[in-house]
């Protein structure tokens, strides 16, 4: 990867992750503990740091966008405009998902029922983006798009299974509720991600 901006971007994303952890201790390091051990993170007791939340959001968005760009990269100039376009698409999908969640919450009053899932959703996203960041570093060194694409698919599959498992455990007593959760997840998680991957592949190949 001879594009100089790619290396600088990896450094900026790394610094975003580091400073988000410094400003909001535990936002990254305690995410695996929350998922695996089901314990509350200590940083929840401290006031939320707006800058830290912005930095971790930038790390997530930038890492996902870069992973998509590297996964569908097929040679030629690796331009920053491609990354910026995909980054905007990722941000658009996230905003659309947030608005849909707000609408569903307002209509069906789901906040209290889904609170255990909401609290751990961000942790799973953080874990997945950290893994994707490492995969992107490997890709930059060896230049194998197939590897990055398989890594993206594997992380997405693990993320999907973990979300379904967490949701199913909350509603394991009610088959109807489990079906509702699966439909919700497919509509607001799987479908947007599939649209994002498909659109990114088309845009990257056309630019």
pLDDT digits (tens, 9 = 90+) for 32-54: 766 655 544 544 555 567 888 88
Predicted confidence (pLDDT) at residue 170 exceeds the cutoff of 60: no
The gap between the terminal CA atoms of the chain, to the nearest Å, is 18
Residue-wise pLDDT tens digits, 64-122: 888 888 877 776 677 888 889 989 999 998 888 878 777 766 666 655 555 556 666 77
Largest Cα–Cα separation, the chain = 55
What is the rounded distance in angstroms from the CA atom of residue 98 to the CA atom of residue 89? Answer: 14
Residue environment code for 4-38, b if the CB has 16+ CB neighbours within 10 A, otherwise e = eebeebbeebeebbeebbebbbbbbebbeebbeee
């Amino acid at each position: 990867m001879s594009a100089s901006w790619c290396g600088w971007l990896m450094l900026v994303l790394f610094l975003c992750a580091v400073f988000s952890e410094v400003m909001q201790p535990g936002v990254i390091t305690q995410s695996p503990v929350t998922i695996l051990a089901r314990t509350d993170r200590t940083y929840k007791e401290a006031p939320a740091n707006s800058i830290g939340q912005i930095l971790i959001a930038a790390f997530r968005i930038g890492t996902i966008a870069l992973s998509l760009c590297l996964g569908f990269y097929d040679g030629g100039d690796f331009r920053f405009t491609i990354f910026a376009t995909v980054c905007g698409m990722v941000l658009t999908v996230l905003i659309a998902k947030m608005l849909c969640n707000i609408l569903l919450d307002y209509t069906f009053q789901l906040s209290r029922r889904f609170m255990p899932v909401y609290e751990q959703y961000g942790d799973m996203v953080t874990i997945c983006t950290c893994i994707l960041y490492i995969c992107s570093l490997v890709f930059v060194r060896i230049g194998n798009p197939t590897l990055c694409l398989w890594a993206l698919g594997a992380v997405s599959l693990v993320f999907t299974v973990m979300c379904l498992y967490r949701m199913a455990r909350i509603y394991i007593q009610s088959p109807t509720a489990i079906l509702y959760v699966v439909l919700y997840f497919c509509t607001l998680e799987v479908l947007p991600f599939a649209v994002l991957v498909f659109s990114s592949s088309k845009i990257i190949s056309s630019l």
